[in-house]
Structure formats: structure tokens, C-alpha cells
Amino acid sequence: MDLQMEGRVCLVSGGASGIGAAICEGLRAEGVAAVSLDLKPAEHAGSYQVDLCDPEAVAATIDQVRSDHGPIAGVVNNAGINDGVALGQPVSAFVESLQKNLVQCYGLVQAVLDDLKSQNGAIVNIGSKVYSTGQGGTSGYAAAKGGLMALTREWALDLAADQVRCNAVIPAEVWTEMYADYLSRHPDPEQRRAEIESTIPLGQRMTRVEEIAAMVCFLLSPVSAHTTGQIIHVDGGYTHLDRAYQPG
């Protein structure tokens, strides 16, 4: 399918690795100038190092992106971290978690709002199953992702008159280098991975980053021109189907 995105410019926060890097790769395959915004350097071209929690640095970087590539037609709010800020921690830690996982998303969209309106652009927010299932021990991250889902619906309404769409993609158990690193600290990483995968109804496997990227590319594209305000789970049924299910 031709997603009709050739020549567009899209920003991907947290695009240096994991899901973000896969999104950048998927967009580039469609002829998009995919621009990574990340604290970490990215191996691919079109990457800019910036602290997304610093509004002045973001504004300056966006100006540079416009100069280098032209007006911005798409934004993917992917950057964030499940930082384990739990209920017993200080309020200041909770506020910092919201800053890293929610407030910076608001700031990035605000910084490119005029571009999105002029390009009839699109926003895709990357959430987490945690916003609806809870996880335990991660109040800041859960609250931030819940807030981002609320903003998905709010922005879809705010921007409908400008023909700017806003949707969200929700991963659950996605195989990334970060996930592999997490499992490596378990006494038996392979056994733990098998236990997790057994709870995923569709295929008893983890979601691949390319599968998240494919949905994001579709939602950014004109092919999904009448889709907005949607929260789409790409998770093999993990969040909504009975995880006690066993195949056969």
C-alpha cells in the first residue's frame, strides 16, 4: 500500500533506539524525512540531540529542523521512561516523572502547532498498557500515560477544524534492547521471557517493534484521513483478552 507520504517531514521523539528507531525506519521506507529528537545520538541521519524537557532547546531545535527539512507534517510522541516513581516517593519525584513522560509531549506539539495546521498534519502518541491496567510501583509513569491518552482525545477535538488528526498507539510487551536488558537481570531470562509470552493470546510472542511502527506510519498518513481520537492497542490481545487463555 502506498501511504502517500513521500516528501513529508515527521518528528519522532525518542527516535534513537527501540520503538522510536523502528518508527523512523518505517517512515523513511515511505519516503518521509523522519527526524529523531532524543537525548541520545542516533546512528541514522536526520537526528538531533535535545533535552525535550527544555522548552528553549526544543524551540531552537525545531527552528533548525525547519531550516534543514521544511515544515513539519507529523509528530510522534514516543519519548518516555517507566521510571518506577511509586506512591511512597516525594511529590517532587512524581512531578519530575510527569515532566519526562507527559509535559514534554505537550511542549513538543505546541512548538510545531503552526506547522501541523499548515500541513493538515497528524499526531501519534505512544502510550503504554499501564495507563489502563496499572502495574504497581509506577505512579508517575501510569499517570503520565493516562494523561497522554486524555490529551489524544482532547487534541483530536481541538484540532479537528484545522484538519489535524491525533491518535494513540498502545504497546504492551514489545521486544526491544531495553526489554532484553531488563530480562538479563532475572536469574533465568529465557524462562522469564517464556512466562511473559505465554500470557499474550495472539501467538504467545512479544510484539515486534516493526509492528508498532507499521501502525504509527498508517496513522500519520493520508490513508487514515478520517481516523482521529482513536486509542489503538497493538499488543497481541494482551490488554483486553483473557490472559489465562491457552492455545488448543
List pLDDT tens digits, range 187-222.
999 999 999 999 999 999 999 999 999 999 999 999
CATH topology of domain 9-172+208-228: Rossmann fold (3.40.50)
Average pLDDT in the 52-64 region? Answer: 98
Q: CB under 8 Å to 221, separation ≥6 — which residues? A: 3, 4, 5, 30, 122
Give buried/exposed letters for 129-150 (b at 16+ CB in 10 A, else e). Answer: bbbbeeeeebbbbbbbbbbbbe
What pLDDT shows up at residue 1? 84
Domain boundaries, the chain: 9-172+208-228, 175-206
Percentage of residues in the chain having pLDDT higher than 70: 100
**Residues tagged active-site:** 141
- Prediction pTM value: 0.96
- 21-60 burial by CB neighbour count: b if 16+ within 10 A, else e? bbbbbbbeebebbbbbbbeeebeeebbbebebeeeeebee
Mean pLDDT within 107-122: 98
Beta bridge mates, 229: none
**Cell 532484553 appears where?**
180
Reported as a single tens digit per residue, the pLDDT across 72-85 is 999 999 999 999 99
Contact status, residue 61 vs residue 108, Cβ threshold 8 Å: no
Q: How sure is the predictor about 43, in pLDDT bands with cuts at 50, 70 and 90? A: confident
pLDDT interval class at 246 (50, 70, 90): confident
The pLDDT assigned to 41 comes to: 81
Determine the pLDDT at residue 146: 98
